Amino acid sequence: MSDTQARTRKRGIAFKLSLLILTSTTLIFLAAFGYNYLESRSLVLKYVEQNADSLTLATAQRIEKILRGVAAAPRYLASSLEFMNCSRPELLKQIENMVKLDPDIFGSTAAFEPYAYDSRSFYFAPYYYQVKDQMKFSWLGGKDYNYHRWDWYLLPRKLERPVWSEPYFDKGGGNIVMSTFSVPFYRNVKGRRTFTGVVTADMSLERLKDIVSKVALYRTGYAFLISKKGVFVTHPNKDWIMRGSIFSVADAAGDPELRRIGTDMVQGGKGFVALPVHFTGNKAWMYYAPLPSAGWSIGVVIPEAELFEDIRNLGWIVLVIGIAGFVFLFFVVVSISNTITGPLRKLAGTAAEIAKGSLDAALPEKKSADEVGDLTESFENMRRALKEYIANLKETTAAKERMESELKIAHTIQMSFLPKRFPPFPEKEEFDIYAMLVPAREVGGDLYDFFLLDDDTLFFSVGDVSGKGVPAALFMAASKIAMKGSMSRDTDLSETLGKVNRELCVDNEATMFVTVFCGTLNFKTGELHYSNAGHNPPLLLRPGKDPEWLPLPEGLFLGVFEDSAYKTVSTQINPGDTLLLYTDGVTEAMNREGQAYSDERLFGLAGKKAGVSPETLVRDVVQSVHEYAGEEPQSDDITLLVLQYKGSSKI
């Protein structure tokens, strides 16, 4: 090898070593940078959501306070008019005082039915309102202003309750954009409670605009209000106010997601969501919350560019620092690499054959006791052991990968046997059901199942196979298939268990067995039939009562004795009653001291959870078991099934 080739070889090794180190360092840096960015983004979103939640709810509460204050006065006057007749001067004075004493009330009237106040007057609606701190008065009603047909009069009359109207321009009355709170009142006419009129309180939307316009996050964030029909009550875009709705904007852009957000807002929901670009002109986020008194909703919009501006600036700074560090590290690594690769050139040349795959090549003689000498000796030891190691490694790796793959497939197949869509029967309002299986290994031996036998009857079951692992999983699958195949609407539960028992006994050389509790519920009548094959007794939770263990009929586990007999028991459950079915993986879960979770602890927990939903009860029990066990490994499968009877929805 010439000196030129040697120098080229030396530079090549140093360059590759430098490239490897720098590439690895760069990847680590990028991974850390990316993780930091994503985590920072998540934390910023969480922080902003909390701030937006506080700001939005505070603003909503402030507006709610105003709305409730505005609503109080007309409620009082309407209540008074039901029980006494006021003279015209008295009535006008009360209406005038209502407007004077509450700065949030723009105007008010007591609008009567035709001839209800004055037998000579078809219209009777004295109206007081304030304009620039001056009290104005007018009589509502006439050909150009038939208040009997306005929504603020019709809606409370039809609904028979106080109502906030949609925002409107009160032409002929206050002549401003307002929303009216109307309270209907009644009088006894010939022994009948008869609608007599409404008392109103008008609120100028300019007042709400002032409040909402002060809500802001970051530099250009803003807030807006929409009515219960989605119409913009306030918004920075004045062209939208009273002329458009969140649904018209969504339809114009063909955006179903914005329509979904609008629907949730008008239905009283709240949330933190990303807004489409066409709604704000740029990417943005919005927190929204309801105004229950009026049925409106408030939204606070935060531009995404401002939201993540600090993160982006910090990212650029970190990137510049990273590039500078990369350049510095490059020169340091190249220098060190050149120093290290010199003594290795000879070893590299003689070890080239081994690098090419010739494991019989002889290495140079060890001449020093330093790291290079140790490396030479290590190469020799490696050469001798490498052949055997490679062969063993291939075989071991293949076997391990095959076993792991098969266990994953077995877990997937086993879980596919169990119902996992909840709620499983959304069209059935008479009951609610939820179940969960937490296997102790990749595959387990517990099982649960439920399905409809007909339009009125639900079948449900929980079982526990002896043993664990793949054999238990296979026996579990066989048991579930046999149970489902044997059950029909005309089959008694005891007959089903007997048939399944005989099928499982056939060729059961491993003497495996399964305990089963199964039942049927007529969710139209509440009639419960159940049978048992050696399983734990379920808990029956009744509203306002202590839990109780469901009495079980005698019955041995399935799969061992072909002549085992089973019984079916019937009982009646009431709307609100809940059944908790479980396997012994719950009650026999051990803590660090070797103490079991126990039936008593489950009994006590269930007694505190009466009335909660099945999903909540299942998750609370699983969490309680895990907290009790602590860091102790799960020794058995945990399975829970909760059935809550709500009663027939038919009248």
Q: How confident is the model at residue 318, as a pLDDT?
A: 73
Q: How confident is the model at residue 341, as a pLDDT?
A: 60
Cα–Cα nearest to 504, from 584, 448, 422, 564: 564
Segment 15-35, tens digit of pLDDT: 666 677 778 777 886 777 677
Q: How confident is the model at residue 37, as a pLDDT?
A: 61
Burial of 338 (0-12, 13-18, 19+ CB in 10 A): middle
Identity of residue 166 = E
CATH 3.60.40.10 domain span(s) along the chain: 417-645
Q: Is the dihedral of CA 482, 484, 486, 491 positive or negative?
A: positive
Q: What is the mean pLDDT of each run of 10 residues along the chain (651 residues)?
A: 50 64 77 69 69 76 86 91 87 92 91 90 93 88 89 93 88 83 91 92 84 74 87 85 86 88 90 84 86 86 76 72 77 67 61 65 63 65 66 65 63 74 91 92 82 93 84 82 85 91 85 92 95 94 92 90 92 94 93 92 91 93 94 90 85 41
Task: At 269, give phi and psi (nearest 5°).
Answer: -80, 170
- The token duo for 311 is 């993160």
CATH 1.10.8 domain span(s) along the chain: 351-408
Task: At 134, give phi and psi (nearest 5°).
Answer: -110, 135
- Spatial contact of 550 and 521, defined as CB atoms under 8 Å apart: no
- Spatial contact of 601 and 586, defined as CB atoms under 8 Å apart: no
Torsion angle in degrees (nearest 10) through CA of 270, 272, 275, 281: 100
Burial of 643 (0-12, 13-18, 19+ CB in 10 A): buried
CATH 3.30.450.20 domain span(s) along the chain: 85-207, 208-308
Return d(Cα 543, Cα 647) in angstroms, integer: 14
**Rounded alpha-carbon distances, angstroms, from residue 19 to 13, 24, 35, 72:** 10, 8, 24, 77
Other C-beta atoms lying within 10 Å of the C-beta of residue 76: 14
- The token duo for 154 is 């019709």
Return d(Cα 280, Cα 275) in angstroms, integer: 8
In CATH, which of 3.40.50.1950, 3.30.420.10, 3.30.450.20, 3.40.50.1220 is domain 85-207? 3.30.450.20
**DSSP assigned state of 431:** E
- Spatial contact of 521 and 458, defined as CB atoms under 8 Å apart: yes
- The token duo for 490 is 């005309």
Other C-beta atoms lying within 10 Å of the C-beta of residue 596: 15
In CATH, which of 3.40.50.360, 3.40.50.620, 3.60.40.10, 3.30.70.1250 is domain 417-645? 3.60.40.10
- The token duo for 594 is 């070797």
Segment 144-184, tens digit of pLDDT: 889 999 999 999 999 999 999 888 888 877 788 888 999 99
Return d(Cα 71, Cα 67) in angstroms, integer: 6
| CB within 8 Å of 195: residues ≥ 6 apart | 113, 157, 160, 184, 186
Does domain 208-308 fall under CATH 3.30.450.20? My reply is yes
- Spatial contact of 414 and 444, defined as CB atoms under 8 Å apart: yes
| CB within 8 Å of 460: residues ≥ 6 apart | 433, 448, 449, 450, 518, 519, 520, 521, 581, 641, 643
Torsion angle in degrees (nearest 10) through CA of 619, 620, 625, 627: 110
Q: How confident is the model at residue 10, as a pLDDT?
A: 46
Degrees to nearest 5, angle at CA 273 with 272 and 279: 130
- The token duo for 627 is 């907290």
- The token duo for 645 is 């009877």
Other C-beta atoms lying within 10 Å of the C-beta of residue 137: 13
Cα–Cα nearest to 199, from 71, 101, 29: 71
Residue 256's SS3 state is helix
Cα–Cα nearest to 265, from 291, 285, 303: 291
- Spatial contact of 547 and 525, defined as CB atoms under 8 Å apart: no
Q: In what order do the strands lie in the sheet with 514-522?
A: 446-452, 457-465, 514-522, 527-533, 568-572
The β-bridge partners of 393 are: none
Structure-token match 């010739």, residue found:
358
Q: How confident is the model at residue 276, as a pLDDT?
A: 83
Return d(Cα 565, Cα 494) in angstroms, integer: 8
In CATH, which of 1.20.140, 1.10.8, 3.40.1000, 1.20.120 is domain 351-408? 1.10.8
- Number of helical H runs and strand E runs in the chain: 16, 22
